[in-house]
Amino acid sequence: MLMQHLNRQLHEADAAALRRRRRTVLSPCGPVQQLEGRETPLLTFCSNDYLGLAQHPALVEAVAEGARRWGVGSGASHLVSGHSQAHAAVEERAARWQEAHIPEARGLLFCSGFMANMALMTALGDDQAVILADKLNHASLIDGGLLAQARMQRYPHGRLDRLEQMLQQSAAPIRLIVTDAVFSMDGDVADLPALLALAERYDAWLVVDDAHGVGVLGAKGHGSLEHAGLRSERLIWMGTLGKAVGVSGAVVVAHRTLIVGMIQRARPYIYSTAMPPVLAHVLGVSMDLIEGAEGAARRMHLQHLIAALREGVGQVVERHAGWSLPASCTAIQPLIVGSNDDALALAGRLEDQGLWVPAIRPPTVPMGTARLRMTLSAAHTLDQVQTLTAALADMDTALQEGGPA
């Protein structure tokens, strides 16, 4: 029965052009990658390595240095014997990054952003709480909210008027407003000042998933709280360390009382083996780069690339009534084409021209909004970005003329 059930689901996914398929990469993360089964490499616009640090020589050397110092595995959970000085240093560094925004800030390190969000939702969202979440939040926040004892309500994306109505109607003693800082499929930035104002007005807490903001937003790359200039003990911040930071893991920063509480209650933290200390060692080197002159230069270059991409793709969209390029000032630039088949076909044509820009389809995005999710890295060059925009322009011209793209 189980096999028949799964096969039926697979057939349904195929019929709707929704089956997911993995690609095996034979080269390091970077602007050009070699895929298994292809003779030539692809120019890649789909990784979240926004600052281009994943291959940075200093980080590569830090892996070897950290392995010599710490070995490889941590051997146990943080609460047994797995919490090393390297882990503690990352937590302390993350707390310093956010201390201007969160009073008495303290950090807590996790193996992944998904795990960190699951821990936040289930540890803080007990039966005394209500979780009020943006409908386009990341799956980890949604799943964490579903697993929590708290009741979860979701407001339409960016509709703070609807959120305020929910806050007014809620009788829960604990109210958690939960949002992505940069939304992963659209690239738009949440109105954090307005969200914090609502939290303070209605005695709520604001949980901010800064997975796509840390490293790239703010003068020092400290993320969305720095970018927005916020400060409140009601802020709870989560930043992932495997995107712009270029390594792996995630860290939660909040008022020390909340972090101490999570250490006692967050099951994903309590019952998971700590991340390899070698990775924690590398994170310290990456955080140095992000805060320094090189990090600032990479962020500036990334902004120039974003402007160039938006100018080029914007001109294409003006000529194609069925496509749209939503407003986004971040490295995530979605070209919405509508149907699943159209998105897959466009991605396939780009790959034929040596460009890797995957199609994103439901349930990752709402029905009818299948898209190409173009992501930029400071490791890209302007010429590479222009190669992508020129390819899209050529395809649009071919489609308008009714010929093969």
> What does the block give as tokens for 138?
């990341």
Residue 275 lies in a domain: yes
Angle between helices 382-400 and 340-352 (to 10 degrees): 120
pLDDT surpassing 60 at residue 403: no
Whole-number pLDDT of residue 405 = 45
| Beta partners for residue 371, in sequence order | 336, 360
Pairing status of strand 370-375 against strand 359-360: antiparallel
Whole-number pLDDT of residue 319 = 87
The tokens 């050009």 sit on which residue?
32
Which of 249, 275, 291 is at the close of a domain? 291
Tell me: do 261 and 304 sit in the same domain: no
Alpha helix (H) ranges present in 266-320? 267-270, 277-291, 293-319
Tell me: do 140 and 127 sit in the same domain: yes
> What does the block give as tokens for 31?
């602007």
Tell me: do 44 and 73 sit in the same domain: no
Please state, in angstroms and as integers, the Cα–Cα distance from residue 47 to each residue in 33, 44, 149, 357, following that order: 11, 7, 34, 9
Tell me: do 64 and 201 sit in the same domain: yes
Encode pLDDT of 340-356 as tens digits: 999 999 999 999 999 99
Tell me: do 276 and 141 sit in the same domain: yes
Residue 17 lies in a domain: no
HEC-encoded secondary structure of 76-105: CECCCCCCCHHHHHHHHHHHHHHCCCCCCE
Tell me: do 338 and 322 sit in the same domain: yes
Tell me: do 251 and 345 sit in the same domain: no
pLDDT surpassing 80 at residue 402: no
Task: Tell me the residue type at 275.
Answer: M
Tell me: do 241 and 308 sit in the same domain: no
Residue 1 lies in a domain: no
In angstroms and rounded to an integer, the radius of gyration of the C-alpha atoms of the chain is: 22
Q: Give the count of beta carbons closer than 10 Å to the beta carbon of residue 30.
A: 17
Evaluated on CA atoms 43, 47, 48, 54, the torsion sign reads: negative
Q: Which residues contact 6 (CB under 8 A, 6 or more apart)?
A: none
Query: Number of structural domains, the chain?
Result: 2
In terms of residues, how long is the chain? 405
**What per-residue string of b and e applies to 190-224 under the rule 16 or more CB within 10 Å gives b?**
bebeebbbbbeebebbbbbbbbbbbbbbbeebbbb
Residue 14 lies in a domain: no
The tokens 């979240």 sit on which residue?
48
Residue 5 lies in a domain: no
Tell me: do 239 and 310 sit in the same domain: no
Residue 13 lies in a domain: no
Encode pLDDT of 141-194 as tens digits: 999 999 999 999 999 999 999 999 999 999 999 999 999 999 999 999 999 999
For residues 383 and 157, give the distance between their C-alpha atoms in angstroms, rounded to a whole number.
35
**Averaged pLDDT score across all residues of the chain:** 96
Tell me: do 153 and 263 sit in the same domain: yes
Q: Which residues contact 371 (CB under 8 A, 6 or more apart)?
A: 185, 334, 335, 336, 337, 343, 359, 360, 365
Whole-number pLDDT of residue 83 = 98
Q: CATH no. for residue 228?
A: 3.40.640.10
Q: CATH no. for residue 340?
A: 3.90.1150.10
Which of 253, 272, 291 is at the close of a domain? 291
Phi, psi at 397, each rounded to 5°: -60, -45
pTM of the model: 0.95
Pick from 13-22, 279-288, 362-371: least confident: 13-22
Alpha helix (H) ranges present in 46-190? 57-70, 85-98, 113-124, 139-147, 160-169
Tell me: do 254 and 347 sit in the same domain: no
Q: Which residues contact 171 (CB under 8 A, 6 or more apart)?
A: none
Tell me: do 391 and 374 sit in the same domain: yes
Residue 383 lies in a domain: yes
Residue 18 lies in a domain: no
Q: pLDDT confidence of 394, banded at 50, 70, 90? A: confident
Containing domain of residue 97, as a range?
A: 57-291
Which of 266, 291, 316 is at the close of a domain? 291
Phi, psi at 372, each rounded to 5°: -95, 120
For residues 336 and 288, give the distance between their C-alpha atoms in angstroms, rounded to a whole number.
37
